Amino acid sequence: MQYRTLGNSELKASAVALGTWGLGGGSVWSDHDSTEAEARDLLSACKDYGINYIDTAPVYGTGESERLLGCALKGRRHDFILQTKCSLNWRNEGGNFHYSRDGYTVNNDTRPTAIVRDVEDSLRRMQTDYLDSVIVHYVCRSFPVSDTVEALERLKEQGKIRAYGLSNSQPADLEEYQANGGHVDLVQEFFSILSPFHGREYFTACRPHGTTFQTYGVLEEGFLTSPAFMERTFVKTDIRSRIPWVQPEVKAGLKKAFEAWEPIRAAHYCSFSQLFEAWALAQYENMSLLVGMRKPKNVADNAACLDLTLSPEELSAMEKAAKPIQVEVLDK
């Protein structure tokens, strides 16, 4: 495993991080609800392969992902860098409407009182007295950035968090947080070979601040793990039923791209997951690869992507094959 410093913090995090959106289950990930035992086994596999970085959020399963992680972390909290998020909550205490799901109404609220309450709720659910990193889940311009920054900096001073970052944001948001006295150590944004544009725009904004870019969605919710995945079907509420790759005309283009990618995969004796993860890691020198994993066997496969080095010609050929079906914006 390789380890990298998150931004300008003192946190040494594995280059591959465990994403736990799917761990929360519910209607968004409708095919499996994880148990406490499965969560413990998953973290044990991560430790075995050197993955010490875990990402979650309060709204993943409306608290379920955090609860499961709290149980799984008992007795080994200090073995992991634990990252969660703030701003999205279902307390009905104000903010902007974000969505309704599974009987809950979730609002986006970046006011100081909401940020502090979010952190306190996460600490309670995960049974810990500090969080290594907290991400503003959805940057919001309805409330003063200066107030949000002040709340985050105060939480750092109190020792409740050690670092913070932004997600679902724009480069201008990073500049505004920094200009208001913020110390943004990482941005967490969508980035994949099928939708690389927003990420690449963000790289130039991150570099001057030493900000880590943490990518999510690099495997397109499973659609880039193998051609066979495209044959699966999902209920309407499932996130995997709402992205472009399920549309027949786009699916045909993706199948054609897989045919072009297959020789490169075969040449390296690797999985498709490893191929696209290696592609992503080659795009930016300060990249953190956030990968959703729910089973221990997935941990071994994803950790091995660090053993793969692609040539400039291979990287170019991979993106050339993706170009006909690349999209500018993905609404997930």
Q: If you average pLDDT over every residue of the chain, what do you get?
A: 93
Q: Six-digit token pair at 206? A: 């991150």
- Give the pLDDT confidence of 76-85 residue by residue, as tens digits: 999 999 999 9
Structure confidence at residue 329 (pLDDT): 67
Residue 30 has pLDDT above 70, yes or no: no
Q: How, if at all, do strands 164-167 and 184-190 pair?
A: parallel
Q: How far, CA to CA in Å, does 42 sit from each of 35, 45, 306?
A: 11, 5, 19
Q: Write the pLDDT tens digit of every residue in 214-250.
A: 999 999 988 899 998 888 877 787 778 778 877 888 8
* pLDDT surpasses 80 at 27: no
What pLDDT does residue 165 have?
A: 98
Residue 9, SS3? coil
Extents of the domains making up the chain = 3-225+272-308
Q: Which CATH architecture has domain 3-225+272-308?
A: Alpha-Beta Barrel (3.20)
Q: How confident is the model at residue 176 (pLDDT cuts 50, 70, 90)?
A: very high
Close Cβ partners of 118 (under 8 Å, ≥ 6 residues apart): 58, 85, 86, 87, 89
pTM (whole model) above 0.85: yes
C-alpha distances (whole Å) from 156 to each of 52, 96, 132, 150 are: 21, 26, 10, 10
